[in-house]
Structure 1
Amino acid sequence: MTDAAQFRGVSQVFGDFTAVDNIDLTIPDGKLTTLLGPSGCGKTTSLRMLAGYLAPSRGTISIAGVDSTRTPPEKRDLGMVFQSYALFPHMSVAENVGFGLKMRRVPAAERARRVAESLELVGLAHLSTSKPKRLSGGQQQRVALARAIAIRPKLLLLDEPLSNLDARLRIQMRAEIRRIQAETGLAVVLVTHDQDEALEMSDEMVLMKDGRIQQQGAPQEVFPAPANRFVAEFLGYENFLTDTGGGLATIRPEHLSLTVGEQAPSASAGAVVSGVVMDLAYRGVDLLVTVAATDASGARIELLADLRAESAPDLTQGTHVWVHVPTTHLVPLTGD
């Protein structure tokens, strides 16, 4: 099977700033791939190069096995949903969805069939005659999706499509986009800065920093084994410890446990670190405990433990605690 798209040695340089730095990337067909990272990491620039709005400074981009590096956007046969949705206010929902088909001179009967099919897919067939201003943010986003899908693109590009929605709608639309992708079998590239969004929606996630790919793989592969400190921090790992040999490792807050007492508990299957409670944050089900401690290298560190509130020991600021660090959940890190 031909991959949906490939980047080979692609860079994008603006003056003395390198936005994307010599990346190799394969976008698999029929899968949802996320480009994930903080602002300025190169994810949106990469998407814009794939869409044809920017030509790479170096390297090649192929789409469905064809070199498309210099192909203009309108000839790449891609669907795109922007952050702003970019709907035409004077057109009805159906006219918006059919616009791309009309520009491609699809016959009226076929156009009507595809518009109806696309609106049915996103659950908006009953609003086909409405104008965008009468729709909620979530409905407008679905119209934009339907418009992009109606042209039957080789690849669907989504640029932070959920960022303008409230928290409840964002969660709902994650599931909707995932459902639509699964039903259509489209290859989708989603740009996001939200790690929860990427973890929930991705078949493949690509983490970027300073224009370079830091790690790539299925969420189930990347999340439990971050490649370096940047990836670990971005995915929500809070605790970093250095061993006596200078090696760095990380562990998630929910994998730490605390005990209170004068004598250190057994360190079976892990290490025990002495510390003092600095802060407590009650979250209902959970209790977040910040502990000041010293790791095996002698460095002063802060550890965050996420405990079940109902079974947590009785703690106050200043309480001396023992932190159990299980070896099975300690992840060694390499690189920056």
Structure 2
Amino acid sequence: MTHAARFHGVSQVFGDFTAVDNIDLDIPDGKLTTLLGPSGCGKTTSLRMLAGYLAPTRGTISIAGVDSTRTPPERRNLGMVFQSYALFPHMSVADNVGFGLKMRRVPAADRARRVTESLELVGLAHLSASKPKKLSGGQQQRVALARAIAIRPKLLLLDEPLSNLDARLRIQMRAEIRRIQAETGLAVVLVTHDQDEALEMSDEMVLMKDGRIQQQGTPQAVFPAPANRFVAEFLGYENFLTDAGGATTTIRPEHLALSVSERTPAAETGAVLPGVVLDVAYRGVDVLVTVASADVSGARVELLADLRAESAPDLTPGADVWVHVPATHLVPLAAD
């Protein structure tokens, strides 16, 4: 696999605070990579170092095989879309998209052709003469994408680009960015704190905490096998159990089953735990049931079961239940 960029032993230290701590990271060419994690995990700092806005305290960053650690941003040929889009309000859409090309002294005819191609790619060629204030949030974001793409960058960097959009537009733009990446073959690095966004859009996802990479891989590899409790919790795992050996395991709510009378466990059942229903939340298609129980170590736990509404037992708070925990869906977790 060829790499669009590489971090080798990269750290970023501000005074006594280490924002990024000795990371090694390969950004694959022609793929969409997400840097995912909570605020302060180091993902935006990593993106800013890749863009050239920050120089690493230690380590090296290469772009397209060339050491670019000290190369200024304007010489890295990277496209960047910010959270705020940063469009020029006094310029037309076409002039905004062509701005980077003009700064690079691209001839007028070539500039006009590439502006048109970029606007067609994001579906906004018909608004080329409009000013940004006349556009919706989603349209403004598409203009920012077109401007970043027009310079034909080695890498496209997206810093929380969907956070200012409403829920419906966010879902639409996920698909739009994915389509643009597929059609252009660009290497894209997307910073996000939204696990659904990362799972839906990524070819490769990189989960970060306290400046360190906790896990990296395809969504299909990472989601069913989180490396540790932090990753599991961040990806929406709700249930954590201690096994007989004292190790922590996790299981997703949809993999638990409840019954009002204990049955002989099926061969794949890892444990059947007694419990008391604390809460029942009907959501139409499914029912979320919270149960107070104890795991095999004797520790008190609250377990969340996500049951199909059509087959869920009729439960009310205070009811005694048995929680069936299938061993096939238990995921062992390493220490954070």
What TM-score, normalized by structure 1, do the two folds share? 0.99
Paired residue secondary structure (2:105): coil
Q: Distance in 1 between matches of 2:256 and 2:317?
A: 18
Q: Distance in 2 between matches of 1:268 and 1:204?
A: 35
Q: 1:42 aligns to what?
A: 42
- Amino acid across the alignment from 1:266: P
- Amino acid across the alignment from 1:46: S
- Amino acid across the alignment from 1:223: F
Check the 8 A contact 1:265/1:322 in 2, yes or no. no
Q: Deviations over 1:171-206 (max 9, x none)?
A: 000000000000000000000000000000000000
Q: Deviations over 1:249-282 (max 9, x none)?
A: 1000000010002x45425311111100001111
Q: 2:304 aligns to what?
A: 304
Q: Distance in 1 between matches of 2:9 and 2:246?
A: 34
Q: 1:282 aligns to what?
A: 282
Check the 8 A contact 1:286/1:309 in 2, yes or no. yes
Q: Distance in 2 between matches of 1:83 and 1:281?
A: 35
Report percent identity of matched pairs.
87
Q: Distance in 2 between matches of 1:86 and 1:55?
A: 23
Q: 2:18 aligns to what?
A: 18
Paired residue secondary structure (1:4): strand
Q: Distance in 2 between matches of 1:265 and 1:275?
A: 17
Structure 1 stretches of 4+ with a deviation exceeding 2 A read 263-268
Q: Distance in 1 between matches of 2:47 and 2:160?
A: 11
Q: Distance in 2 between matches of 1:314 and 1:168?
A: 34
Q: 2:62 aligns to what?
A: 62
- Amino acid across the alignment from 1:277: V
Paired residue secondary structure (2:3): coil
- Amino acid across the alignment from 1:15: G
Check the 8 A contact 1:2/1:65 in 2, yes or no. no
Check the 8 A contact 1:34/1:204 in 2, yes or no. yes
Q: Deviations over 1:4-61 (max 9, x none)?
A: 0000000000000000000000000000000000000000000000000000000000
Q: 2:212 aligns to what?
A: 212
Asked if residue 6 in structure 1 is aligned to residue 6 in structure 2, the reply is: yes
Q: 1:269 aligns to what?
A: 268
- Amino acid across the alignment from 1:177: I
Paired residue secondary structure (1:220): helix
- Amino acid across the alignment from 1:231: V
- Amino acid across the alignment from 1:139: Q
Q: Distance in 2 between matches of 1:134 and 1:78?
A: 28
Check the 8 A contact 1:159/1:191 in 2, yes or no. yes
Paired residue secondary structure (1:191): strand
Q: CA-atom RMSD, angstroms?
A: 0.8
Matches within 5 A, 1:82-93: 82-93=82-93
- Amino acid across the alignment from 1:230: F
Q: 2:28 aligns to what?
A: 28
Q: Distance in 1 between matches of 2:280 and 2:69?
A: 54
Check the 8 A contact 1:265/1:272 in 2, yes or no. no
Q: Distance in 1 between matches of 2:181 and 2:170?
A: 16
Matches within 5 A, 1:189-208: 189-208=189-208
Relative to structure 2, which stretch is displaced further, 1-10 or 69-78? 1-10
Matches within 5 A, 1:38-187: 38-187=38-187
Structure 2: unaligned runs, 5 residues or longer: none
Q: Distance in 2 between matches of 1:303 and 1:267?
A: 20
Check the 8 A contact 1:251/1:329 in 2, yes or no. yes
Q: Deviations over 1:95-120 (max 9, x none)?
A: 00000000000000000000000000
Paired residue secondary structure (1:115): helix
Q: Distance in 2 between matches of 1:129 and 1:299?
A: 65
Q: Distance in 2 between matches of 1:234 and 1:287?
A: 22
